[in-house]
């Protein structure tokens, strides 16, 4: 069976690893995640409901637990 040309939307997916493993659409923002992880100050992120807060935390968790292992092909891999 051939793989579809269009990736699935990650509706309700709040896990970075699940999203990447399922080959779902991911808006590339790992460069900004690297910048946030690199600063030594407190940061307050205010985002509306259902706007990716859990996915952002899950992405940080994957970065700090596993390094860049799960970030193949993303901007942070080159940092």
Residue 5 maps to a domain: no
pLDDT tens, residue by residue, 5-64: 777 788 888 899 999 998 888 888 999 999 999 998 998 888 888 888 899 999 999 999
Expressed as residue numbers, the domain containing 47 is: 16-78
Query: pLDDT value at position 30?
Result: 92
pTM of the model: 0.79
Confirm whether 3 is domain-assigned.
no
Residue 60: count other Cβ atoms within 10 Å of its Cβ. Answer: 14
Domain count, the chain: 1
Extract the tokens encoding 40: 């030594």
Residues in Cβ contact with 59 at an 8 Å cutoff, skipping those fewer than 6 apart: 16, 30, 33
């Amino acid at each position: 069976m051939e793989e579809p040309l269009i990736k699935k939307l990650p509706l309700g997916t709040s896990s970075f690893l699940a999203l990447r493993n399922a080959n779902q659409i991911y808006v590339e923002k790992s460069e900004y995640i690297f910048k946030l992880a690199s600063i030594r100050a407190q940061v307050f992120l205010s985002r509306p409901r259902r706007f990716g807060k859990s996915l952002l935390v899950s992405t940080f968790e994957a970065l700090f637990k596993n390094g860049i292992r799960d970030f193949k092909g993303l901007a942070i891999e080159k940092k």
